[in-house]
């Protein structure tokens, strides 16, 4: 199990995957919004999306878990 | 020099297919407009039928293959009916030496002076002066377009200013070579006589006045049918030849150095004169052998997002421009919002300054956590770093390439207390006191004062030329911000009075549409906000031309072993 955590404070603008989706390294999983910019968060591991820990519109801090990959 | 950049991953290639399509769409808009300009005036076949070459033909014959970097292709600042400025110009090599080259488009009203053209010509003479390289004219000029003389003949920056610029270039020791074709009366006469070396085609003429004016009529104060019939009769029987022909200006006054029977003969003459001009062999200033970037320049179309809200890694961009994808960064530990450093192009050292995208937590330090730093903006450290770097480049005689993608300088009380207003102007002062040649590329956004201070076109004495890309947008601020700023108070008043807000909302939405349309790459090129919109893969070609030209006839030299920047960077 691998936790994908947020590298920056921001707001979850879009979630590009659903639980059960197969993902490869560097796939775009989440888009965070901060300071009018959209920062994509990419998968660091390949696998299946086990859980999505955030909702669209939710504010996140550095280190908050976004997605769990198994 | 340290390496920068890395290959694109499979995932990046997959993800960026859509970006390729978006950029291609913008390139198509620019290409269509360029084609319309190319077709302006009479068809090329009509010129060929008369046994003549078009300006494009002449340029193709003259310029070393693969070196032509066109400028001002879409420039049309007066929005004239011809749809162009009637002069084709750019940087190119002739016999291995860089020159600024400009040709009257003889398809467009036989190369007449038309509205907007003087501004283009002045930019071109400015370019030759800034780079200190020869100016080469292909003259074929029928004089002022009489129907709209008030738009170009007079005024401080009217057509005649070009002749004073030629005199200035000569005085500065910069030669102006002239290949003369066709009939060149009045304005054309001075286009003919003002350069340094005049080479003419056998059918060419240059004169104070044309035959039509020399013909002379007795003015009545108005035109009526009787007068018209006299004019028609006189014109039909008119036999006088255009004055200032070869018999006069080669055989008698000797203004023409050479006369050639063929059009290409004149261009061969220009080539021989270019061979006679001084130019340092690049080996004199090279610090390494020229080398292509490690990565394909085509990948730039994947790296730079068309979605202006998406960040990217500027080092990946630099790695597809610089020799061998190398870069020597200055003060990487300071001012995280901009990157400054030395790179090589064609083996020649150049300074590069660029915005870094992304979010910078715990920065700027003077905000003390009140807000985060955003890429594309300028804060105190970045401004100080840019100032230092520019001053050191000035001392080391390193030309500078500015890569802009900037939304402005930080604002607010904290920013003012951090002296950002003065630091921005300080950067302007730093630039002005260098007497360096600089080139600016508006990679994506160029806005607010940041567009000015980052070596923008407003740096009239230093900026050689400014390029746009298919993703360029230039405006004082984003349209949405502008509409809010412009109408916020009105909204308050209307709302407090209980009136319908929709009319104001309509105005605000219209303003956003307006700002969008008037900041597109095509608009920027037509208005001259940039000197040319190029494709991203062509960036290296133009950067190489700029650097090569800068080192061809430098007015000031810093020996490599006495440069300060490389030692400051090494520590």
Residue B242 · residue B210 · CB < 8 Å = yes
C-alpha span between B456 and B530 (Å, rounded) = 9
Query: Strand A47-52 relative to strand A22-23: parallel, antiparallel, unpaired?
Result: antiparallel
Residue B439 · residue B401 · CB < 8 Å = yes
C-alpha span between B470 and B102 (Å, rounded) = 25
Task: Give per-residue pLDDT as tens, B343-385.
Answer: 999 999 999 999 999 999 899 999 999 999 999 999 999 999 9
Q: Say which range, B39-53, B226-240, B362-376, B546-560, has the weakest mean pLDDT.
A: B226-240
Written in H, E and C, the secondary structure of A4-26 is EECCCCEEEEEECCCCCCEECCC
Per CB-CB distance under 8 Å, the chain A contacts of B361 are 8-9, 62
| Closest-CA distance of chain A to residue B494, Å | 29
B9 touches chain A (CB under 8 A): yes
What is the H or E stretch that residue B403 is in? strand B400-406
B358 touches chain A (CB under 8 A): yes
Residue B236 confidence (pLDDT):
85
Per CB-CB distance under 8 Å, the chain B contacts of A64 are none
Query: What tokens were used for A44?
Result: 């660091």
> What count of other Cβ atoms lies within 10 Å of the Cβ of residue B503?
11
> b or e along B196-229 (b: 16 or more beta carbons within 10 Å of the residue's beta carbon)?
bbbbbbebbbbbeebbeeeeeeeeeeeeeeeeee
Phi-psi region of B368 (alpha: psi -120 to 50; beta: other; left: phi over 0): left
Per CB-CB distance under 8 Å, the chain B contacts of A10 are 359
- Chain-chain contact of A37 with B374 (C-beta, under 8 angstroms): yes
Tell me the average pLDDT of chain B.
96
- Chain-chain contact of A27 with B11 (C-beta, under 8 angstroms): yes
Residues 275-314 of B with CB under 8 A from A: 307, 309-311
- Chain-chain contact of B9 with A26 (C-beta, under 8 angstroms): yes
Query: What tokens were used for B391?
Result: 């001053």
Q: Which of A31, A39, A63 to mutate to test the interface with B (most CBs of B within 10 A)?
A: A39
Residue B341 phi, psi (nearest 5): 175, 180
What is the H or E stretch that residue B354 is in? strand B348-355
- Chain-chain contact of B372 with A38 (C-beta, under 8 angstroms): no
| Closest-CA distance of chain B to residue A69, Å | 17
Per CB-CB distance under 8 Å, the chain A contacts of B358 are 37, 39
Residue A48 · residue A70 · CB < 8 Å = yes
3-state helix, strand and coil shares in percent for chain B, rounded to the nearest 5: 40, 20, 40
- Chain-chain contact of A27 with B358 (C-beta, under 8 angstroms): no
B357 touches chain A (CB under 8 A): yes
Catalytic residues of B, by residue number, are: 144, 187, 409, 449
- Residue B85's Cβ-side half-sphere holds a number of Cα atoms within 13 Å equal to 29
More confident residue, B223 or B549: B549
Residue B216 confidence (pLDDT):
54
Query: Strand B400-406 relative to strand B338-345: parallel, antiparallel, unpaired?
Result: unpaired
Alpha helices in B158-313 (DSSP H): 161-171, 187-193, 211-215, 225-236, 246-249, 263-275, 300-303
- Chain-chain contact of A8 with B361 (C-beta, under 8 angstroms): yes
**Smallest Cα–Cα separation from B404: which of B458, B451, B438, B439?**
B451
Q: Which residue of B has its CA nearest to A32?
A: B310
Residue B439 · residue B543 · CB < 8 Å = yes
| Closest-CA distance of chain B to residue A51, Å | 22
User: What residues form DSSP beta bridges with A4?
Assistant: A67
C-alpha span between A4 and A7 (Å, rounded) = 9
Indicate the SS3 state at residue B78. Answer: coil
Residue B35 confidence (pLDDT):
97
Residue B215 confidence (pLDDT):
52
Residue B459 · residue B431 · CB < 8 Å = yes
- Chain-chain contact of A8 with B15 (C-beta, under 8 angstroms): no
Residue B253 confidence (pLDDT):
97
- Chain-chain contact of B11 with A35 (C-beta, under 8 angstroms): no
| Closest-CA distance of chain A to residue B364, Å | 14
Residue B561 confidence (pLDDT):
97
Q: B54-59 long-range CB contacts below 8 Å, 24 or more apart?
A: B54/B105, B54/B106, B54/B107, B55/B88, B55/B103, B55/B104, B55/B105, B55/B106, B55/B107, B55/B111, B55/B138, B55/B140, B56/B88, B58/B103, B58/B138, B58/B179, B58/B181, B58/B263, B58/B267, B59/B88, B59/B92, B59/B101, B59/B103, B59/B138
Tell me the average pLDDT of chain A.
93
Task: Give per-residue pLDDT as tens, B108-151.
Answer: 999 999 999 999 999 999 999 999 999 999 999 999 999 999 99
Task: Give per-residue pLDDT as tens, B519-558.
Answer: 999 999 999 999 999 999 999 999 999 999 999 999 999 9
Query: What tokens were used for B441?
Result: 């590329």
C-alpha span between B284 and B478 (Å, rounded) = 46
What is the H or E stretch that residue A40 is in? strand A37-42
Average pLDDT over residues B441-457: 98
Residue B444 · residue B473 · CB < 8 Å = yes
User: What residues form DSSP beta bridges with B201?
Assistant: B260
- CB nearest A35 (choices: B11, B307, B374): B374
Count of helix runs (H) and strand runs (E) in chain B = 22, 21
Q: Do you find a cis peptide bond into B565, omega within 30 degrees of 0?
A: no
Query: Percentage of residues in chain B with pLDDT exceeding 70?
Result: 99
Task: Give per-residue pLDDT as tens, B289-342.
Answer: 999 999 999 999 999 999 999 999 999 999 999 999 999 999 999 999 999 999
Query: What tokens were used for B340?
Result: 């400054």
| Closest-CA distance of chain B to residue A34, Å | 8
> What count of other Cβ atoms lies within 10 Å of the Cβ of residue B51?
9
Asked if the model's pLDDT at residue B214 lies above 50, the reply is no
B73 touches chain A (CB under 8 A): no
> What count of other Cβ atoms lies within 10 Å of the Cβ of residue B449?
20
User: What residues form DSSP beta bridges with B206?
Assistant: B184
| Closest-CA distance of chain A to residue B296, Å | 21
Q: Which of A16, A27, A37 to mutate to test the interface with B (most CBs of B within 10 A)?
A: A37
């Amino acid at each position: 199990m691998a936790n994908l955590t947020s590298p920056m404070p921001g707001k979850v603008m879009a979630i590009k995957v659903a639980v059960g989706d197969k993902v490869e390294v560097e796939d775009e999983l989440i888009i965070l919004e901060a300071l009018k910019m959209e920062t994509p968060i990419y998968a660091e591991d390949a696998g299946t999306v086990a859980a999505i820990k955030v909702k669209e519109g939710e504010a996140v801090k550095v280190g908050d878990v976004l997605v769990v990959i198994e | 020099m340290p390496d920068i950049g890395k290959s694109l991953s499979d995932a990046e290639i997959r993800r960026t297919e859509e970006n390729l399509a978006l950029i291609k769409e913008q390139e198509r808009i620019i290409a269509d407009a360029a084609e319309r300009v190319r077709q302006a005036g009479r068809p090329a076949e009509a010129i060929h039928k008369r046994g003549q070459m078009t300006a494009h033909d002449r340029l193709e014959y003259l310029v070393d293959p693969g070196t032509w970097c066109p400028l001002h292709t879409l420039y049309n600042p007066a929005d004239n009916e011809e749809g162009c400025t009637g002069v084709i110009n750019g940087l190119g090599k002739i016999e291995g030496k860089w020159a600024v080259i400009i040709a009257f488009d003889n398809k467009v009203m036989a190369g007449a002076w038309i509205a907007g053209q003087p501004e283009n010509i002045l930019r071109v003479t400015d370019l030759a002066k800034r780079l200190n390289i020869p100016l080469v004219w292909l003259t074929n000029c029928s004089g002022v377009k009489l129907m709209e003389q008030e738009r170009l003949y007079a005024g401080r920056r009217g057509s005649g200013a070009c002749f004073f610029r030629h005199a200035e270039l000569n005085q500065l020791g910069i030669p102006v070579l002239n290949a003369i074709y066709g009939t060149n009366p009045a304005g054309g006469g001075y286009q003919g006589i003002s350069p340094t070396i005049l080479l003419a085609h056998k059918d060419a003429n240059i004169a104070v006045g044309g035959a039509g004016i020399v013909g002379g009529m007795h003015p009545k104060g108005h035109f009526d049918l009787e007068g018209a019939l006299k004019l028609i009769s006189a014109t039909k029987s008119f036999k006088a030849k255009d004055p200032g022909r070869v018999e006069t200006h080669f055989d008698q006054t000797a203004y023409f150095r050479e006369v050639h029977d063929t059009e290409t003969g004149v261009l061969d003459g220009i080539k021989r004169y270019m061979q006679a001009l001084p130019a340092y062999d690049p080996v004199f200033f090279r610090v390494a052998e020229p080398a292509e970037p490690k990565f394909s320049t085509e990948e730039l179309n994947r790296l730079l997002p068309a979605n202006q809200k998406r960040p990217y890694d500027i080092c990946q961009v630099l790695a597809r421009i610089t020799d061998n994808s190398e870069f020597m960064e200055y003060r990487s530990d300071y001012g995280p919002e901009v990157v400054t450093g030395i790179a090589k192009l064609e083996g020649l050292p150049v300074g590069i300054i660029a915005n870094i995208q992304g979010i910078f937590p715990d920065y700027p330090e003077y905000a003390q956590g009140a807000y985060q730093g955003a890429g594309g903006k300028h804060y105190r450290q970045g401004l100080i770093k840019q100032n230092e770097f520019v001053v050191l480049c000035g001392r080391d005689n390193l030309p500078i390439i500015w890569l802009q993608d900037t939304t402005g300088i930080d604002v607010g009380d904290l920013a003012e207390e951090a002296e950002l207003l003065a630091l921005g102007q300080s950067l302007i002062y730093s630039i002005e006191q260098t007497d360096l040649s600089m080139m600016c590329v508006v990679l994506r956004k160029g806005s607010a004062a940041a567009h000015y201070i980052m070596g923008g076109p407003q740096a009239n004495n230093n900026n050689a030329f400014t390029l746009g890309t298919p993703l360029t947008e230039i405006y004082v601020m984003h349209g949405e911000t502008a509409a809010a700023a412009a109408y916020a108070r009105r909204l308050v008043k209307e709302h407090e009075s209980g009136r319908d807000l929709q009319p104001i909302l309509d105005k605000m939405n219209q303003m956003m549409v307006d700002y969008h349309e008037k900041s597109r790459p095509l608009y920027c090129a037509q208005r001259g906000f940039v000197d040319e919109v190029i494709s991203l893969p062509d960036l290296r070609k133009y950067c190489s031309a700029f650097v090569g030209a800068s080192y061809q006839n430098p007015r000031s030299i810093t020996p490599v072993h006495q440069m300060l920047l490389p030692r400051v960077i090494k520590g």
